[in-house]
Amino acid sequence: MPSPAADPTALPGRPAPPRRRWGKVAQALLAGAAGVALTAVFFTVLWWPRSDVTYRSSAPSSVTYEDDSEHHLGLVHEHTLSGRHSYRLVIGRDPGLSYGHWVGVDTDLGADGIESTTWTTAGVRVRFPTGHEVFVPAKFFLYGR
């Protein structure tokens, strides 16, 4: 048994207190927390969407709307590093297509792109190479919606 002089936590005439194992528990907790954090970062990067605008169209100057703004349409392709793909039409006043009225498009349609757009005062008609058409009434994309 070590002498009390060798252990600074021991009191004279009493045995030294048992050593605590909190150091190993704390290390295990820190390692677990670091593992959870790295896993979260990994999945965030893996599923983080990237967007590409694969088609753009703007309403011609001959078509004017109630809100007296220029309107733009874009087919936005979102994809992740994990391989997920999705497409949506974005129609609105923002030429950067960061906001506006969104319409989800089937992945097979979006992958083929857009054949044409026809702007009228009633709305915009989008034609796909497959023969499918989507008509979006103007009331859904006017006034910054």
Whole-angstrom distance between the N-terminal and C-terminal Cα of the chain?
80
Upper half-sphere CA count for residue 33 (Cβ side, 13 Å): 6
> What percent of the chain is helix, strand and coil (3-state, nearest 5)?
25, 30, 45
17 or 64: which leads in pLDDT: 64
Q: Distance between alpha carbon 122 and the CA centroid of its chain, in Å?
A: 32
Which of 15-24, 30-39, 56-65, 122-131 is predicted with the least confidence, judged by mean pLDDT? Answer: 15-24
20 or 56: which leads in pLDDT: 56
Give the neighbor-by-neighbor strand order of the sheet with 123-127. Answer: 116-120, 123-127, 133-137
**Contact criterion met (CB below 8 Å) for 135 and 125:** yes
Flag whether pLDDT at 144 surpasses 80: no
What average pLDDT is seen over the chain? Answer: 87
Q: Which two tokens stand for residue 134?
A: 């989507």
- Is pTM beyond 0.85? Reply is no
The pLDDT of residue 105 is: 96
Q: Distance between alpha carbon 87 and the CA centroid of its chain, in Å?
A: 13
The model's pLDDT over 98-132, given as tens digits with 9 standing for 90+, comes to 899 999 999 999 999 999 999 999 999 999 999 99
Question: Which pLDDT band holds residue 23 (cuts at 50, 70, 90)?
Answer: confident
Flag whether pLDDT at 2 surpasses 60: no
The pLDDT of residue 44 is: 76
What's the CA gap between 137 and 128, in Å, rounded? 18
The pLDDT of residue 24 is: 80
Q: Which two tokens stand for residue 41?
A: 């970062």
